[in-house]
Structure 1
Amino acid sequence: MTTPSEPRGDRLDPGLAAIMGERRQLINLAYRLLGSLADAEDVVQDAYAHWYAMTRQQQDAIASPGAWLTTVASRLCLNVLSSARVRRETYVGEWIPEPLPDPTEWINGRSDGITVDPADRVTLDESVNMAFLLVLESMTPAERVAFVLHDVFRYSFAEVAEIVGRTPAACRQLASSARRRISAAQAPATPAARQARIVRDFKQAWEAKDIDALIGLLDPDVTAIADGGGVVGAVLRPVEGVEQIVRSMLNLDGRLRELTFLERTVNGRPGLIAQHDGVTVSVYAFDVAGDRIKHIWAVRNPDKLRPWTVGPQH
């Protein structure tokens, strides 16, 4: 089978650049639909495989290859979402979406260490912050696809209907239901500079084991969730309440002595990473409301940390 990197025969494919130019958009879409960069990359690869499995005549008959690829990728995402619920029933501990670094902080694995923004990294904005993605996780697959396609990527309900196989009116209802979920879960936005200051203060208080400072930074009903995936050690259930979380943090003191904590952008918001011998072993995302941290998400599953471990983070 011909692949995107192997045009037919020895002649150049004049449409190859245009087709591959859709990759960033497709990765952006698939990540928001699936919450996993690895799954998103697999879906996009599969969509391209469908394209290159067609004859040149079949390809030429498609008026908008980008729209065709989007339709195929979205339908593949629907299938993945439907099976993901079954897979996550057997997942060890809590499942958290795969965290992403800011493109300007992603450093490739080449020896020159040049900071790059590769085409298969997701553009970060509010629609990929961790709190938003977790609300998407609570939706049905059809709700999630209808909402993301219409509200995030601005597809018309007629276009959404063609993709999900429902009527435009039904897709409008799905998106409306999803919008209500988002609205109910969203707290007033805290300015990014204030979020960064609070996360920095949290890091310093944790490193100093300053209990009073930690209590002052955490909401009384704060929740912390860790995702080790059964691969590395992590608390299997959410930890709730400021006292329980501070106690848990202090109990980790022995493990933390060999770690270096760095401030990084995580899914478009201020966060932290923990490194051991220069390798990222944990990524922390935060939900800040006012001047307090309401949620902490710690991803330790190494399978979800590929974008953070491909090269040194400085």
Structure 2
Amino acid sequence: MSEHPSAPASTPATDLGSGPGPDQPPRPPARIDPPALQRHLGHGGSAWLHGEVARRMGERVGVVRRTPTRVLDWWSPVSASQGLLATLYPDATIVPVGFDGQVLPAAPGRSWWQRWRSAPAGPAGQPAAPAGLLWANMMLHWVDDLPAQLRQWHAAVEVDGFLMFSCFGPDTLLQLRGLYRRLGWGPVGSDWTDMHDLGDALVHAGFADPVMDMEQLTLTWDSPEKLLAELRTLGRNTAPARHAGLRTPRWRERLLQALRQELAGPDGRLHLRFELVYGHAFRPVPRVAMQAQTSISLDDMRQMTRRPAPRP
């Protein structure tokens, strides 16, 4: 397998205000089948591509002039980010967070200093205390209720802390989606959210100054069998409208032949494009609506009088 990245695109998200809107938009139809997602996550481990995307996301942290003392590694079992985060923030406590948003226990079999460095900021099985950085690598495309997830993240980031995340964009597997559509095989996977919509959703959730980046990455394989094996590590078909029954050996042969014909490049290798979306945003100091007489809690007063670090 080899990779051919294209030039990244960058754009600031539309600014719709500094806080969530008074009324939430209606939820769209389900994009993710929960049992299918559970089967995928139950296999454990993280894909090679997750580690590569984490590395690329790590190159972007320099644009944020913050040095968090505590970092939440969201969906830590599949983020492939533990070593990278320890390198990026050697003095920070790295808190592993599971699929349910709860703190995970420290992994066994590590030295005492490794366990101390990644000790949970709170009891295992409990929600983590807010952190200066919430890091979410390659998991947001598996979340069906995006507004709820972003609200949870907003609560898990300290005031003047920041969020960094990455996920697949809607042009991922575009050639494969077209092939399945032409042959009447149903959806090849769930539909994923455009980066501009993600940026708007961040603002609605209460984040400030969201910035979204996108890049195209083309991976190549020398056989359709290796291509399919790689795709299985990245996730299973979680589309609710996917083909419900078992596929036959004859269908698999048709698929392999179609992949050879449709995806082969001039070099004879099979090419498949992935859209990678990166984003970061800040949790701002809360605004208080001023009236003739206004009551402000002591905690809110401390947050509002705390001088924030300058943003890039």
Q: TM-score, normalised by structure 2?
A: 0.24
Higher RCO (C-alpha under 8 Å, 6+ residues apart): 2
Q: TM-score, normalised by structure 1?
A: 0.24
Q: Quick check: which one's helix share is greater?
A: 1
Q: Quick check: which one's strand share is greater?
A: 2
